[in-house]
C-alpha cells in the first residue's frame, strides 16, 4: 500500500438455544470457582433480532477463548465467565427491565451495544442504580453504541465503550471519500434517532471541510427499524442525481436499503459504517464491487496472520455461512475485562473500572488503549472497499469472502491509532470508593 503520512491507502430465552448453532466449545482448563456472570442485554427478538444473535455468537466465541485457558484467576482460583442472555427486544423499557433482572441476580457486568438510544438509557440507569446500591454496583461495557455523547457530555465512570465512536469512524470515512474524485453529489440517509442524527451532522461538517466542492443533495432520516420497503428512498436518491450515499444504517435497515438500491438500478458509491456487516454483502452483491465501503477497527483481509487465525477459528464454528460476521472488538473487550478483573483481584465494579482505565491491549490484531479520561477505547481504523474475493478473483483480491457471497473487503485506507484519536470533553464524576 502506498503511504501518505502515517495513513496508507490500498426474556432471557437461555443460552442453550444459540449454543446449539455452534459446535462444542474447546476443552477447558480446570476452572473451579464460581462463574463470573456477564449479562448481555440485547434485542434478540424484534426487527434487529439477527443483529442481536450475531452479537451473541461473537461474545460466546470471545468468552470461550478465555474459558478454554482456565477462565479468570482471582484469589488463587480459576473462575469461568458465564454469559446470560437477556432479551430487550431492542426497546428502551425492556432494556431497563432486563437491567433490573441482572442486578437482582447480582451480576457485576452488563454488556450492550446495538442502539445508542438503549445505551443512553442504560448508562443513566446503571449510574442511578450504583448510587442507590453501592454494595451491588455494576459495570456497563458497550461494544457498538457509537453516539459520541456517550463518552463526552454524557460520560460515566460506570460505562466503557469498546468501539470507535461516530466521530472517529466518520473522520476515517471522509478521509477516504475525499480521495475519490468520482464523488460530486452526496445523499445522506440515516436512522431517525440520536446516532443517525449524529452521523448526518458529522458527515455534512466533515465533507464540507475536506471536500468543499461536493454538493449535499439530500439529507433524510427514516424511522428506526420500521421500514420494510426502502424502494421509495432508493428511488428518491436516484432521482436526486446523487453519485454517493453516506449512511450509518445498521442491521436490516442497511440490508433493505442496499437491496432497494439494487432493485432501482442506483449506481452510486456507498460510504457506510456497517456495509461489511450482517446480511449486507450478500444483499449488495456484484453491484457493490469497487463502490461499497465500510469502516471498522479490523477486517478479515487486513493482513495480520495471528488475527486471521482468530477469525478462522470463529469461522470454523459457524453452521451457516450467512452467520459470518466477526467483530474483533468483542474479543478485545472480553480480553481487557478478564485482564482488569485479574489485576483488581475482584469482580467489584469500581475496582474493575479503575483497573480498566488506561489499560492497553497488546495482542493481535492491534494495540488498543482504554482512555482513562472518558472510557473510550482508542484503536486504529480501516476503511475497506468491496471486491471479488478468493483465488479465482485474481492477484491482489481479498483472501476471505463474507457470508459465502464470493465478495470480501480490501483495505483502502488505514488510520493508525494516533490519527484515529479525537479530542474528548468528558467531565466525569468519580465515586469516592
218 and 335 both lie in a single domain: no
Q: What is the CA radius of gyration of the chain?
A: 21
Of the candidates 345, 372, 370, 374, which has an alpha carbon nearest to the alpha carbon of residue 360? 370
E strands in 229-268: 244-247
pLDDT of residue 304: 79
Could you tell me if 131 and 72 lie in one domain?
A: yes
Contact predicate 251/144, CB 8 Å: no
Whether 258 and 154 share a structural domain? no
Residues, the chain, total?
433
Burial class (CB in 10 A: 0-12, 13-18, 19+), 25: middle
d(CA 48, CA 114): 9
Residue 87 sits in the same domain as residue 236: no
Number of domain units in the chain: 2
* 143 shares a domain with 29: yes
Report the CATH number at residue 208. Answer: 3.40.50.2300
**Residues 410-422 as b or e (16 or more Cβ within 10 Å = b):** bbbbbbbbebbbe
Residue 424 lies in a domain: no
Instruction: Check whether residue 268 and residue 409 sit in a common domain.
Output: yes
Q: Are residues 361 and 402 in the same domain?
A: no
Q: Tens of pLDDT along the chain (433 residues)?
A: 333 333 433 333 333 333 333 433 444 455 668 999 999 999 999 999 999 999 999 999 999 999 999 999 999 999 999 999 999 999 999 999 999 999 999 999 999 999 999 999 999 999 999 999 999 999 999 999 999 999 999 999 999 999 999 999 999 999 999 999 999 999 999 999 999 999 999 999 999 999 999 999 999 999 999 999 999 999 999 999 999 999 999 988 998 999 999 999 999 999 999 999 888 888 888 889 999 999 999 999 998 788 999 999 999 999 888 888 999 999 999 999 999 999 999 999 999 999 999 999 998 788 899 999 999 999 999 999 999 999 989 888 999 999 889 999 999 999 999 999 999 999 999 998 8
Contact 102, 58 (CB under 8 A): no
pLDDT of residue 192: 96
Q: What's the Cα-to-Cα distance from 360 to each of 78, 302, 322, 363, rounded to whole Å?
A: 23, 21, 33, 9
Cis amide leading into 365 (omega within 30): yes
- DSSP helix/strand/coil, 216: strand
Q: Write down the pLDDT at residue 3.
A: 35
- First CA to last CA across the chain, in angstroms? 49
Give the predicted TM-score (pTM) of the model.
0.90
Q: What value, to the nearest 5°, has the Cα angle with vertex 157 and ends 155 and 160? A: 75
Q: What is the structure's pLDDT at 196?
A: 95
Q: Is residue 32 part of a domain?
A: yes
43 in a structural domain: yes
Tell whether 223 and 371 lie within a shared domain.
no
Question: Would you say residue 272 lies in a domain?
Answer: yes
* Closest by Cα among 205, 161, 191, 199 to 329: 161
Considering the domain boundaries, does residue 2 fall inside one? no
Tell me how many degrees the CA angle 325-331-335 measures, rounded to the nearest 5. 175
Indicate the burial class of 341 (C-beta count within 10 angstroms; 0-12, 13-18, 19 or more): buried
Residue 408 and residue 343 in one domain: no
- Strands 109-112 and 139-142 come out as parallel
Sequence-separated (6 or more) residues with CB below 8 Å from residue 323: 21, 54, 57
| 37 and 160 fall within a common domain | yes
26 located within any domain: yes
Domain housing 400: 167-296+384-415
pLDDT of residue 372: 98
Q: 270 lies in a domain?
A: yes
Do the domain assignments include residue 425? no
Q: Do 254 and 208 share a domain, yes or no? A: yes
Q: What pLDDT sits at residue 32? A: 65
210 and 337 together in one domain: no
Amino acid at each position: 500500500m502506498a503511504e501518505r503520512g502515517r495513513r496508507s491507502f490500498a426474556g432471557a430465552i437461555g443460552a442453550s438455544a444459540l449454543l446449539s448453532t455452534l459446535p462444542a466449545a474447546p476443552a477447558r482448563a480446570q476452572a473451579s470457582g464460581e462463574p463470573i456472570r456477564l449479562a448481555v442485554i440485547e434485542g434478540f427478538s424484534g426487527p434487529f433480532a439477527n443483529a442481536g444473535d450475531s452479537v451473541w455468537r461473537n461474545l460466546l466465541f470471545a468468552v470461550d477463548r478465555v474459558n478454554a485457558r482456565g477462565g479468570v484467576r482471582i484469589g488463587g482460583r480459576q473462575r469461568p465467565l458465564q454469559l446470560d442472555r437477556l432479551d430487550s427486544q431492542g426497546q428502551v423499557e425492556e432494556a431497563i427491565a432486563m437491567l433490573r433482572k441482572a442486578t437482582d441476580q447480582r451480576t457485576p457486568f452488563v454488556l450492550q451495544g446495538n442502539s445508542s438510544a438503549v445505551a443512553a438509557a442504560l448508562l443513566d440507569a446503571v449510574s442511578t442504580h450504583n448510587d442507590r446500591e453501592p454494595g451491588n454496583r455494576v459495570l456497563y461495557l458497550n461494544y457498538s453504541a457509537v453516539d459520541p455523547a456517550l463518552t463526552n457530555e454524557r460520560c460515566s465512570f460506570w460505562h466503557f465503550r469498546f468501539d470507535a465512536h461516530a466521530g472517529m469512524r466518520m473522520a476515517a470515512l471522509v478521509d477516504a471519500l475525499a480521495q475519490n474524485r468520482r464523488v460530486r453529489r452526496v445523499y445522506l440517509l440515516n436512522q431517525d434517532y440520536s446516532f443517525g442524527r449524529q452521523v448526518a451532522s458529522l458527515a455534512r461538517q466533515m465533507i464540507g471541510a475536506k471536500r468543499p466542492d461536493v454538493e449535499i443533495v439530500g439529507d433524510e432520516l427514516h424511522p428506526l427499524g420500521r421500514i420494510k420497503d426502502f424502494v421509495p428512498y432508493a428511488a428518491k436518491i436516484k432521482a436526486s442525481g446523487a453519485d454517493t450515499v453516506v449512511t450509518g444504517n445498521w442491521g436490516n435497515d442497511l440490508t433493505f436499503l442496499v437491496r432497494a438500491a439494487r432493485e432501482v438500478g442506483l449506481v452510486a458509491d456507498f460510504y457506510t459504517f456497517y456495509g461489511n456487516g450482517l446480511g449486507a454483502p450478500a444483499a449488495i452483491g456484484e453491484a457493490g464491487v469497487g463502490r461499497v465501503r465500510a469502516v471498522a477497527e479490523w477486517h478479515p483481509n487486513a493482513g495480520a496472520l495471528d488475527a486471521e487465525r482468530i477469525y478462522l477459528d470463529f469461522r470454523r464454528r459457524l453452521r451457516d455461512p450467512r452467520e459470518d460476521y466477526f467483530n474483533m472488538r468483542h474479543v478485545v473487550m472480553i480480553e481487557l475485562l478478564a485482564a482488569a478483573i485479574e489485576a483488581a483481584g475482584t469482580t467489584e465494579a469500581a475496582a474493575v473500572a479503575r483497573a480498566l482505565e488506561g489499560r492497553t491491549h497488546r495482542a493481535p490484531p492491534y494495540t488498543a488503549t482504554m482512555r482513562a479520561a472518558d472510557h473510550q477505547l482508542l484503536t486504529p481504523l480501516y476503511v475497506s472497499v468491496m471486491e471479488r474475493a478468493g483465488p479465482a478473483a485474481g492477484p491482489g483480491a481479498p483472501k476471505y469472502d463474507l457470508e459465502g457471497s464470493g465478495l470480501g473487503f480490501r483495505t483502502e485506507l488505514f488510520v493508525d491509532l494516533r490519527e484515529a484519536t479525537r479530542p474528548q470533553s468528558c467531565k466525569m464524576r468519580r465515586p469516592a470508593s
